[in-house]
Each structure stands twice: as structure tokens, then as C-alpha cells.
Amino acid sequence: MSAVYLLLLLVPTISAQTFRFGACPTPKVQSNFSLQLYLDKWYEIEKLPASFARGQCIEANYSVRKDGTIRVLNSQVVGGKREFLEGTAVVPDRQEPAKLGVSFSYFTPYGPYWVLETNYTNYTIVYSCTDILRIFHVYYAWILARSPSLPPETVHYAKQLLTNKGIYISKMTPTYQSCGNI
């Protein structure tokens, strides 16, 4: 009974997310990942729904802090104004540097941020998934680029890669990236 109660409490939270029954898929991540090459600005090209990213012209900027953690500065345009959200990323296991953890609050645990593939100069494909009592999982996927757009064939390739890794992307949507100087 308590699991059903918990599920009912979580419905409002997961309604703006993507979820599936069962445990998270565990796809392979980028081999020989270089955090140094990954740093700097990325533009969101497409994503699965996320309650925290409903705006336009979404960007993520990564830089190393003096303490060795990664500063994550996300921004999006909402209502004609650019909003910022700062977080922290860490590499929990140096043997798997493409599996980062990201948190945007001191009160929340680090959520997974897995770089499935990147060429560092044009595109990256990112996946995140959290199991809820191993009954279902909430997951996200992003296609990011170093510029505000990607060629259609690159987007198609990224979607195919996600699908081949067992990640359902039917709800993936493009992110509007023409906000001018906002």
C-alpha cells in the first residue's frame, strides 16, 4: 500500500518528465572521455521533457572551480528574460569520467549526467536516469551542440544512437534557439 501511496504523490512531479516502468537502462558511455575538452558552452538542440527546462534558447556552460568541481551554469529565456541556474558537477568515479553527477541545490543528491557520445567540437549526447523504487524510472536525454543548430543528419544520428541504447525518445522535442541578444 505504501508504494501505491508514494506513486500517487509522485504523479505531479513525473507528469512533466519522461518515465517508464522498470529499472533504468544502463547504456555505455563515451570511452576515453576528456572533461577538459568538454568544458565551455553547449546549446540545447533537442531534449526529452524536463520540468526545469521549459524555456527557449537553453544553454549550459561548464567550467572548473578552484576546488576541482565543475561549475554548471544553465540558462534559458522565459517570458523574454534570460534566467540562470547554477549547479555543481562532480566525477564520482575517475575510472568512468563520462558519468558525472550534477546537483543544483545543497539539499539534493547528485543526479546522473552521462555523456554517451561527443566529438567535443560539434555535438554531445547526454542521458540521465533515476530509478524510483525499481518500479519505474524518470529519465532525460539531450542533444547539445557548440552552436545554436546542428545539421539534420547529426540530429538524426544522435536520436538513432539513443534509440539503439534502449532509450525511448518519442517525446523528444526541438529547443527554439533564436532569441537574439537576450
Residue spans of the domains in the chain: they are: 19-172
Tell me which fold the domain 19-172 belongs to: Lipocalin (2.40.128)
Q: What is the pLDDT of residues 6-61, one digit of tens each?
A: 333 344 444 445 767 888 989 999 999 999 999 999 999 999 977 666 789 999 99
Reading the block at residue 174, the C-alpha cell is: 526541438
- φ and ψ at residue 132, rounded to 5 degrees: -115, 100
Whole-structure pTM value = 0.88
Q: What would the pLDDT profile of 65-77 be if each residue is shown by its tens digit?
A: 999 999 999 999 9
